[in-house]
Amino acid sequence: MSYTDLSRLRPGTASRHRSCALSEERLMAVDVDVVVVGFGPGGEVVTSLLGQAGHRVLVLDKAPAPYGQPRMSTLDGEIARVLQHAADRAEAMREAIQAPNILIYGADGDPVPPIDWDYRIAGHWSHYSLHQPNIEAALEARIAQNPSVEVRWGARAIGIDQSTDAVRVTVENADGARSEVSARYVLGFDGAGSFVRQAAGIELEVLREHDDRWILTDFDALRALPEAIARTQYHMDPARPWFAGPNGANRCRTDVRVLPHEDLDEMLHEDYGYAFLEERFGLTREDVRMTRRVAYRFRSHIARAFRAGRVFLGGDAAHAMTPYMGQGACCAMRDAANLAWKLRLVLSGAADQSLLDTYEPERLPQSEFFVRGSLAIFQYVNELDPEKAAARDVASRAGEIDFPPIPGLVAGVIRRDAAGEPAPCAGQLAPQGVVRHGDIEERLDDLVGYGVQLISPLPLDELLGPDRLARLAELGAHVLRIEDSADADDTYRDFWAATGATALLARPDHYLFGVATDAADLPVLVDEFLAQVPRAAVTAGVR
């Protein structure tokens, strides 16, 4: 859309995307726009966002059917906002509950300072405990509504051959039949052992191949769970480190280290899982029902590149980490959200394919932070030397150990200052407030839909002029004047006060390109954004 004064907005009117698609006559023919290999949360999010824009997507997953079991148990507010666009958020977050903190107990069993999660980001609580199958079912339901998407279960990529304009993928179905499909781009979300990564020749840096064994057990509650297990908690007992907490409403999970002398097959028997829960929390088979008990090892790695030509990596194919920051699946969905907005613009012809060059410099540093950070927390929590564990607890209780904040973007499509560094607020998460129009109050994204957001209480149409507004419309931007009367929960008023800004420009993945400090700076902000998202350079036969 070109410009919206929120006082005149009707629900749904801001979500229309004006396509600038190149004519098919100018393109080398391909079977699909994108092949997505791997249909976990990251693959599902990027498929949903591309499919909703009408792009032709083929999904390949070697599993015969959806897995249906929870892996992740934590989701952050940033990804909850992504789900507003990729799925029916209410269905996806059904049974999700706020996770206000992580309780931590030292080697002596007494508390050390917790990790505080009791705040809001992007219009949501900072963290949630959830039931992953609800998220995947909601994503798959949204994807099924898009006729331009085909999902092939039991199919795997066995060959990838790139040319200047396209990628040819050799596909093997469950029955052994083989075929070839051509695409503009291939996205590898196919896990830690990624075929796509290997076929693209991308090397992997393995930080640690963990040799310790863990047993994860999920339970459904048969009656109300006690407060003792209603909070996410780490127990840093050097004799046996363990984790417990909710796995969404009316569910709980334990994650227990198997000691070197213990027999894994014996420990996997369900009796041990029930006995552990009863010993620690007083819960018996009358209180809970075991739904899953599996053994696994951690792996910490990061790909040395996230792209090779027209092939991109995301999720565990690009970065694998321990679960101690609750960020494995969240990182995969960040990758997906980043790729989706850029591919939507490139495939529609609204932006030049050079925009895709920003994927790796944006995602790799942040992903590496989570890989290394989660490994550091794993080592901190799971110290097995009693003397070192006691010293750790003393330092923690003295306030000498702190967890660093999650970094924003430091490169890519962000505003920069005169020294080339990120400008104030650039690369940070954008706020999302509840806005009022007429008698309705809604989260902003639910009202306006997907896309770039330019938000200010200033008269944007007068300050920007028709040419800038037209180009923003080509990019599917929502240009929104939100005055105090429409700012139902004061989110934007508080943001202006805290930052000294008078306008913000947010990307479709909800990271701030930057802010304007006054009316004169507003058109400069927009011009700098448009310069970093240039129009497509149209060449016959190339998209």
Q: Print the SS3 string covering 172-214.
A: ECCCCCEEEEEEEEEEECCCCCCHHHHHCCCCEEEEEECCCEE
C-alpha–C-alpha distance, residues 518 and 496, integer Å: 11
- For the chain, percent helix, then strand, then coil, each to nearest 5? 35, 30, 40
C-alpha–C-alpha distance, residues 359 and 318, integer Å: 12
Contact 384, 237 (CB under 8 A): no
**Block residue for tokens 């028709």:** 466
Domain ranges of the chain: 23-98+126-209+299-375, 99-125+211-297
pTM of full prediction above 0.75: yes
Residue 463: in which H helix or E strand, if any?
A: helix 460-474
Task: Give 307-368 as a DSSP string.
Answer: EETTEEE-GGGTEE--GGGS-HHHHHHHHHHHHHHHHHHHHHTSS-GGGGGGHHHHHHHHHH
312 phi, psi to nearest 5 deg? -125, 150
Residue type, 243: F
Residue 299: in which H helix or E strand, if any?
A: strand 299-303
Contact 444, 454 (CB under 8 A): no
The tokens of 358 are what?
């920003």
> pLDDT by residue (tens digit) across 333-362?
999 999 999 999 999 999 999 999 999 999
The tokens of 290 are what?
């075991």
Residue 521: in which H helix or E strand, if any?
A: helix 521-532
- Encode the chain (543 residues) as per-residue pLDDT tens digits: 334 554 444 333 333 332 333 333 344 689 999 999 999 999 999 999 999 999 999 999 999 999 888 999 999 999 999 999 999 999 999 999 999 999 999 999 999 999 999 999 999 999 999 999 999 999 999 999 999 999 999 999 999 999 999 999 999 999 999 999 999 999 999 999 999 999 999 999 999 887 889 999 999 999 999 999 999 999 999 999 999 999 999 999 999 999 999 999 999 999 999 999 999 999 999 999 999 999 999 899 999 999 999 999 999 999 999 999 999 999 999 999 999 999 999 999 999 999 999 999 999 999 999 999 999 999 999 999 999 999 999 999 998 887 778 899 999 999 999 999 999 999 999 999 999 988 999 999 999 999 999 999 999 999 999 999 999 999 999 999 999 999 999 999 999 999 999 999 999 999 999 999 999 999 999 999 999 999 998 654 444
CB neighbours of residue 211 within 10 Å: 8
H helical segments located in 28-87: 41-52, 77-86
C-alpha–C-alpha distance, residues 478 and 485, integer Å: 19
Contact 252, 221 (CB under 8 A): yes
Pick the CATH number of 23-98+126-209+299-375 from 3.50.50.60, 3.30.1300.10, 1.20.1090.10, 2.10.109.10: 3.50.50.60
pLDDT of the residue at 455: 99
Measured at the CA of 179, the angle between CA 176 and CA 183, to 5 degrees, comes to: 135
pLDDT of the residue at 538: 61
pLDDT of the residue at 401: 80
CB neighbours of residue 109 within 10 Å: 9
Contact 93, 388 (CB under 8 A): no
Pick the CATH number of 99-125+211-297 from 3.50.50.60, 3.40.50.970, 3.30.9.10, 3.30.1490.190: 3.30.9.10
**Block residue for tokens 């929120």:** 6
Residue type, 26: R
Give residues with Cβ within 8 angstroms of 171, minimum separation 6: 60, 152, 155, 156, 157, 158, 178, 179, 180, 181
Bridging pattern class, strands 319-320 and 299-303:
antiparallel
C-alpha–C-alpha distance, residues 285 and 322, integer Å: 30
pLDDT of the residue at 29: 83
